[in-house]
Amino acid sequence: MNLKTSFLKNRIDADSPNKNIVPVTTLIDNANKLSIGGCSIEDLVLKYDSPLYILDEITLRNSCRAYKKALVKYYPGESLPIYASKANSSIFMSNLVASEGFGLDAVSEGELLTALKGGVPNDKIVFHGNNKSDKEMEFAIKNNIKVIVDNDHDLKRLEEISNSFNRDIEIMIRFTPGIECHTHEYIKTGSLDSKFGFGIESLSKLFEAIRKTKHIKLIGLHAHIGSQIFELDPHNDLGEIMVNVISQAEKFGHNIIELNVGGGLGIKYTEEDDPPSIEEWIKTVSSSIVKACNKKNLNLPILMCEPGRSIVSTAGVTIYKIGSFKEIPGIRTYLSVDGGMSDNPRPITYQSNYSACLVNNPLNNNSKNKYTVAGKHCESGDVLFKELELGDCKTGDLICVFGTGAYNNSMSSNYNRIPKPSTILVCNGEAEIIQRRESPHDLLRYDVLPDRFIKQS
């Protein structure tokens, strides 16, 4: 990565943060050291230790506002952006998106509870999942949270629960529109072969089944075609397909008033990435739905979308401290850091690429050393970067990895019994803890030694 392009040529885009590598408040001070949100990263590590997750509040809010602004500009009907909380779920994130007028999507009771504790209004939360438990469904229904029905099992259980409560329930259904997009095969969720959603060919049968239920009212449709998408054409096609399904549902007496097109807009992890802007994505989605509704003489539905990565990813960085070096002459030099696959499982899982720099020499001046950056876990594949160009560095120096706000914290683990990092929010020179660092003792809280083993000892 050549950070000179981002820092020195004024390419930081405050209106569409997903097109940046770095948070919008990123600066290099006169001492050639990195700061974010007006806070010195070196000072943050001295106070909060490492590894350390940092979230930039201004970048987060700019991302939310870009979606809201674009929806007002391009969609003449009512709209509701919904934060895909799987990207980074916390009471703080729930509170922030709620304060920006967003709803939230959740896929477990834990995410639902986090949203409610964070202040997201019940009527702006949607409950996803391809294998919801009865307990989770009952929690959603008791809290007046809309369920997105994913399959026949969902529908059957929901009908039984609604009958037992003698209570009417509004639902959306998720279907697979059959659109392929150029992304990693593990996250192609909108293709015909997917664990998510009803097949589009089965919708007539589904609409008839819902019509015969006593308490279930179908008011919305949902589709999602993938993640980290750089193309606009698939979402242009999606709008027309979804409007066609509205017409199909109406033939069975269903009044579809909500249309949820999912998320999937990509972000810029490396200089080679070139995602559409948030405005371009919203314009494409909105225009396709408006055009299709006009063609079929339908009222505009409430337009929902579910951005996750493009809200939080660029706002987040992870800071590591350099430990050992190992040079294998003629092959590579390993540089090991104090974190790795437990705080960022995406490289070993998806072969994901990131950008990074030294905190005390972010422009990599006077050197073109290349390192394989390895994590500290007992796993040969625990490698964060295979060929990272850095300036001269030594044990104790800090590395800042960009674009880690999404899926790093939420997918983190305690592999090797390593505690999870803390998360710090930075804004206008102030830093606040929003998630505390775990301690090794925290990891023992739920371990239980059976009585007979205690007696033997």
3-state SS record for the chain: CCHHHHHHCCCCCCCCHHHCCCCCCCEECCCCCEEECCEEHHHHHHHHCCCEEEEEHHHHHHHHHHHHHHHHHHCCCCEEEEEEHHHCCCHHHHHHHHHCCCEEEECCHHHHHHHHHCCCCHHHEEECCCCCCHHHHHHHHHCCCEEEECCHHHHHHHHHHHHHHCCCEEEEEEEECCCCCCCCHHHCCCCCCCCCCEEHHHHHHHHHHHHCCCCEEEEEEECCCCCCECCCHHHHHHHHHHHHHHHHHHCCCCCCCEEECCCCECCCCCCCCCCCCHHHHHHHHHHHHHHHHHHHCCCCCEEEECCCHHHHCCCEEEEEEEEEEEEECCCEEEEEECCCCCCCCHHHHHCCCCCEEECCECCCCCCCEEEEEECCCCCCCCEEEEEEEECCCCCCCEEEEECCCCCCCCCCCCHHHCCCCEEEEEECCEEEEEECCCCHHHHHCCCCCCHHHHHHC
Looking at the chain, the domain(s) classified CATH 3.20.20.10 span: 58-311
| pTM (predicted TM-score) | 0.94
Cβ 375 vs Cβ 50: under 8 Å: no
Ramachandran area for residue 389 (φ above 0: left; ψ -120 to 50: alpha; else beta): beta
Q: What is the pLDDT of residue 192?
A: 72
292 pLDDT tier (thresholds 50, 70, 90):
very high
The answer to whether 259 touches 290, Cβ cutoff 8 Å, is: no
Q: Following CA atoms 179, 181, 183, 185 in sequence, which dihedral angle do they give, to the nearest 10 degrees?
A: 40
Over the Cα atoms of the chain, what is R_g? 24
Residue 455 is predicted with a pLDDT of: 75
Res 55 pLDDT > 90: yes
Per-residue model confidence (pLDDT) at position 1:
39
Q: Render pLDDT for 379-438 as a digit per residue (tens, 0 to 9).
A: 999 999 999 999 999 999 999 999 999 999 999 999 999 999 999 999 999 999 999 999
Specify whether the CB–CB gap between 308 and 57 falls below 8 A.
no
* CATH level 3 topology of 58-311: TIM Barrel (3.20.20)
Q: Does the active-site annotation cover 357? A: no
Averaged pLDDT, 18-38: 95
Average the pLDDT over 432-448 and give the result.
96
Of the ranges 36-45, 230-239, 254-263, which one carries the lowest mean pLDDT score?
230-239
Domain with CATH 2.40.37.10 in the chain: 3-56+313-444
Is 364's pLDDT higher than 90? no
- Give the pair of three-digit tokens for residue 145: 């949270």
Residue 8 scores a pLDDT above 50: no
127 pLDDT higher than 50: yes
Active-site residue, from 39, 378, 393, 427: 378
Q: Determine the topology of domain 3-56+313-444 in CATH.
A: Lyase, Ornithine Decarboxylase; Chain A, domain 1 (2.40.37)
Q: Per-residue confidence at 193, pLDDT binned at 50, 70, 90?
A: confident
> For residue 37, what are its two tokens?
């949100």
Amino acid code (one letter) for 115: A
Alpha-carbon distances of 163 from 150, 167, 262, 346, rounded to whole Å? 19, 7, 30, 42
Work out the average pLDDT over 445-455. 89
Tell me: pLDDT of 5 over 70. Answer: no
